[in-house]
Chains A and B, each alone.
Chain A
Amino acid sequence: MNLYGVKAIYLFELSRLRRTLLQSIASPVISTSLYFVVFGAAIGSRMTEIDGVSYGAFIIPGLIMLMLLNESISNASFGIYMPRFTGTIYEVLSAPVSPAEIVIGYVGAAATKSVILGLLILLTARLFVVYDIAHPVWMLAFLTLTAVTFSLFGFIIGVWADGFEKLQIIPMMIVTPLAFLGGSFYSINMLPPVWQTVTLFNPVVYLISGFRWSFYGVADVHIGISLAMTLVFLAVCLAIVWWIFRTGYKLKD
């Protein structure tokens, strides 16, 4: 195992976070604050409690997930797309690092950023709402697992994309709608029965439900199923990444 190689990629990628500190951290924190002002304070005060949780507190896990998915994908996809775009990928491809080490470096850095961001949003939320975390270890586990899974997904998009538009299109057209419709702002039990069934095909439902369970001990779906679905998605992403390196897809001629 080339640990120096993994460390080099990881630190180099994280240095981008330091360089772009303002947009990496400030913009998600600001937009989350806006959500809290609008949904938490303004609208939330007129909403009834959901499963015994105030509306302001109820949306925290959903909001963090929404940001986590988008940030993981954009960080990881950008991280691998840029070297492809500028051509500096030659160095990584010619270095004595295995595909697994390349992925650990890039995806690890992207996931680290997302987890830091998720925790920052959690702190920001404290300024607006009072909340408890029933299962802090599970909360961290879900946060990390989701960050890793979606950073892998972002890595795949970054390898697949052959233009900046394509980098944007999947997060915008697929992930954001799925996150909004996955129960970020409501419990899926509030939907008519037919839509509840349809919603169960949305993978993000399981992420948000599991994450919310770690906060308040209540969930739309059983925690075991949430965890299993997250792991399935992780396995699918890993399989695709394995295939990418096996075939050299868009990385090697």
Chain B
Amino acid sequence: MDPIITVSNLNKTYASGFQALKSIDLTIQRGEIFALLGPNGAGKTTLISIICGIVNATQGQVTVDGYDIIRDYRAARKTIGLVPQELTNNMFDTIWATMKLSRGLFGKPQDDAHLEKVLRELSLWDKRNEKIMTLSGGMKRRVLIAKALSHEPDVLFLDEPTAGVDVELRRDMWEMVRKLRASGVTIILTTHYIEEAEEMADRIGVISRGEIILVDDKAALMRKLGTKQLSVHLQHQLEAVPPSLAYLPLALSDDGFALIYTYDALKEQNGIADLLRILVQENIEFKDLHSSQSSLEDIFVDLVNTSARPSTAVTGTAAAVESTL
């Protein structure tokens, strides 16, 4: 493992007293796509802003590529490209002028060929001499990405990159992110679209109310937390779930042609064998079986709701106390 960003014990309390981040510990590996998932106001942007140097931390330490973001801020920041959430552009300037500004700001010598390559990849080359205010919303977002890539960063932060972006552009962006990763760039994206994380990420961190409540490989996360559903498609319609099956978590589909069984995929005894045996015993004929895993969205909603419910923490503690007695 080769970490490129390490965040330790990071806290942020704004002047208003609002605590946006609570003791965040996080490690991002070189070359991965990491999705930071969380509802609005969870602290995603604050975390990114601290790493990039836009917001001061109240407490804690962050290193990027081994450089402390305060002590060695020049070396740390040089490696980072940031695409902010808001469409903040120099409205009255041309794409080309702002690209040159971005590259220079990050201490890189002029390289028009590189800027041209970035603009061409984002289909902005033909518009390079147009004022940004004349561009569409999707193009403005691409300009922000182009600016972040203008200085060839090793780490790219994409803060809600596809918010308000149409499906086609979203696909293009995902494609671009994959290409960047293939070229060795580490990508951290924040999103509250689950499908984005599911589609893109190698690892997923879930943040809620300023706390990282979970970090795991996407596949492992889905495996670990996923419940599965088995649909048994019936030959003949049923009026109700047979009484002999009532003890199982079974539901009958609206048309009466399918029984839907929800089970925990991780349990040794998941009850499927019992279910099928009873169906045979009851002479209920079935023609097809279909199992599906819960989506990341289900997992996410479940997690965030759990962390939002203070009673679970109390119960957890009580249980822990009980077990130690």
Contacts and interface: CB of A to CB of B under 8 A. Distances in A.
B147 A91 contact: yes
Interface string B58-101: 00000000000000011111101010101011111100011011
A8 B100 contact: yes
Contacts of A8: 100-105
10 contacts: A4-B109, A9-B104, A9-B105, A90-B84, A91-B147, A94-B53, A95-B105, A252-B54, A253-B55, A253-B56
Interface string A75-103: 00000000100111011111111100000
B257 interface: no
A44 B68 CA distance: 65
A97 B84 CA distance: 19
Nearest to A93: B54
B38 to A, nearest CB: 19
- Nearest 4 interchain pairs by C-beta: A8-B104, A87-B88, A95-B105, A96-B74
A88 B56 contact: no
A96 B104 contact: no
B15 interface: yes
Contacts of A2: 74, 107
A122 B147 CA distance: 41
A91 B105 contact: yes
A96 B106 contact: yes
Nearest to B74: A96
A212 B107 CA distance: 42
Contacts of A252: 54-56
Contacts of B104: 4-5, 7-9, 11
Contacts of B52: 90, 94
A96 B78 contact: yes
A31 B15 CA distance: 45
Interface string A3-38: 011011101100110010000000000000000000
A114 B73 CA distance: 33
A16 B98 CA distance: 12
B193 interface: no
Interface string B12-34: 00110000000000000000000
Which of B77, B97, B98, B101 has the most chain A CB atoms inside 10 A of its CB? B101
B53 A4 contact: no
Contacts of A93: 53-54
Contacts of A192: none
B14 A5 contact: no
A202 B289 CA distance: 90
A26 B90 CA distance: 24
A15 B73 CA distance: 28
A2 B74 CA distance: 9
B88 A86 contact: yes
A8 B97 CA distance: 10
A20 B185 CA distance: 39
A52 interface: no
Nearest to A19: B92
A95 B100 contact: no
B236 interface: no
A86 B77 contact: no
Nearest to A5: B105
Contacts of B224: none
A88 B105 contact: no
A90 B159 CA distance: 13
Given A86-B88, A96-B77, A4 B108 contact: yes
B84 A87 contact: yes
B56 A91 contact: no
Given A2-B107, A96-B78, A253-B55, A12 B101 contact: yes
Given A4-B105, A9-B105, A248-B56, 19 more contacts: A4-B104, A8-B100, A9-B104, A15-B97, A16-B92, A86-B88, A87-B86, A91-B82, A92-B105, A93-B54, A94-B80, A94-B82, A96-B76, A96-B107, A97-B105, A97-B107, A252-B54, A252-B56, A253-B14
Nearest to B87: A87
